[in-house]
């Protein structure tokens, strides 16, 4: 197959996306596909749609080319209106499918997906509507709670409302403050004092207009991948320090990950059922990954849904697939297969 692996972009998760895209593109080439790595924002001005898939080039060189733009992204965003870089849409139209290795804003929020739907370009992952809802943690909370998936109690705040005291929100410390549409735990703060709460609100509002304030739940962290309606083995995430933030997600050795997780059969089944129910409620029939916390008493809470889960060397979904005997290249092909069936 001719495959564009689309990565990079303009979000705070650009570097993670490049890492995901590099790994995916290498795996697909190993499987014999004509896969090329393309930066959705910076593009490939020298490429020709007619010959690009025959002249694959070195994936690591393509990744290095993309990374060279990292420090220029903000400047480039301010100097142009067009999101798609040179030759991006032409290459995507010429491909049999686009593997979306994008993360964060303008990658997971449904905008790219909506454009591709209008242009008739097949792509991996959830559709534009499901992507938009799942990207917004406030909307996700509304949809999943109504569907019987337990989530932490929380309140949605808007920047224009100004600082809201916890007493107004009928909440008590400690609380979690997090941006509504961030990813990779960027813009997530655990606050235990009034000073920390106010500082976290300010920093979160500097990143986004909408912020969630949630009750803090102490417990074990888990994740469950769902592919074509089937829940993969539960993986437990135990950071050696702090919580599962950006550093602990992507720094090798910072987190102990156990798959399958050390849970009872009943607990495993319950968490997997919640994950499948969450995907169904959000209208996701291709694949996604849902994150959970479980208290000491066994009560479970879903934290969020990820419609384009990470595919880096340390990412969770590939580890869950490995527990089923599915190697990384085969997982990439599987994700393409289930996505094409949805479209």
- Does the annotation list 248 as a binding residue? no
Which positions are catalytic? 13, 184, 315
- Does the annotation list 39 as a binding residue? no
Q: Are the C-beta atoms of residues 51 and 126 closer than 8 Å to each other?
A: no
Q: Are the C-beta atoms of residues 3 and 97 closer than 8 Å to each other?
A: yes
Q: Are the C-beta atoms of residues 124 and 335 closer than 8 Å to each other?
A: yes
Q: Which of 197, 109, 104, 204 has its CA nearest to residue 159?
A: 204
Q: Which of 24, 31, 28, 27 has its CA nearest to residue 7?
A: 24
List Cα–Cα distances, 204 to 30, 140, 165, 208, 218, in angstroms: 41, 19, 15, 6, 22
Judge residue 59's burial from the number of C-beta atoms within 10 Å of its C-beta, 0-12 exposed, 13-18 middle, 19 or more buried: buried
- Does the annotation list 291 as a binding residue? yes
Residues making up the binding site for Mg(2+): 291, 304, 306
Residues making up the binding site: 291, 304, 306
């Amino acid at each position: 197959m001719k495959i564009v692996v689309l990565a990079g972009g303009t979000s705070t998760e650009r570097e993670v996306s490049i890492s995901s895209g590099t790994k995916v593109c290498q795996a697909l080439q190993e499987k014999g596909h004509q896969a090329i790595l393309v930066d959705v924002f910076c593009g490939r001005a020298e490429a020709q749609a007619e010959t690009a898939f025959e002249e694959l080039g070195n994936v690591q060189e393509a990744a290095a080319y993309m990374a060279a733009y990292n420090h220029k992204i903000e400047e480039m965003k301010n100097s142009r209106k067009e999101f798609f870089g040179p030759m991006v849409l032409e290459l995507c139209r010429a491909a049999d499918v686009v593997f979306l290795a994008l993360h964060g804003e303008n990658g997971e929020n449904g905008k790219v997906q909506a454009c591709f739907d209008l242009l008739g370009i097949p792509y991996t992952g959830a559709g534009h509507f499901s992507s938009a809802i799942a990207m917004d943690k406030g909307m996700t909370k509304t949809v999943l709670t109504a569907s019987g998936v337990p989530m932490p109690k929380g309140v949605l705040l808007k920047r224009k409302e100004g600082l809201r005291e916890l007493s107004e929100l009928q909440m008590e410390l400690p609380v979690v403050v997090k941006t509504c549409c961030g990813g990779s735990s960027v813009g997530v703060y655990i606050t235990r004092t009034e000073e920390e709460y106010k500082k976290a609100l300010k920093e979160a509002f500097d990143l986004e207009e909408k912020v969630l304030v949630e009750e803090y739940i102490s417990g074990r962290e888990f994740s469950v991948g769902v592919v074509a309606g089937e829940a993969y083995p539960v993986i437990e995430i135990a950071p050696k320090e702090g919580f599962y933030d950006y550093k602990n997600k992507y720094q090798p050795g910072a987190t102990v990950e156990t798959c399958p997780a050390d849970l009872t059969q009943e607990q495993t089944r319950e968490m997997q059922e919640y994950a499948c129910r969450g995907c169904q409620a959000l209208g996701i029939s291709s694949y996604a990954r849902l994150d959970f916390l479980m208290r000491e008493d066994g009560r479970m809470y879903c934290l969020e849904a990820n419609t384009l889960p990470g595919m880096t060397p340390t990412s969770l979904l590939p580890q869950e697939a490995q527990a089923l005997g599915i190697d990384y290249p085969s997982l990439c092909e599987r994700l393409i297969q289930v996505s094409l069936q949805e479209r």
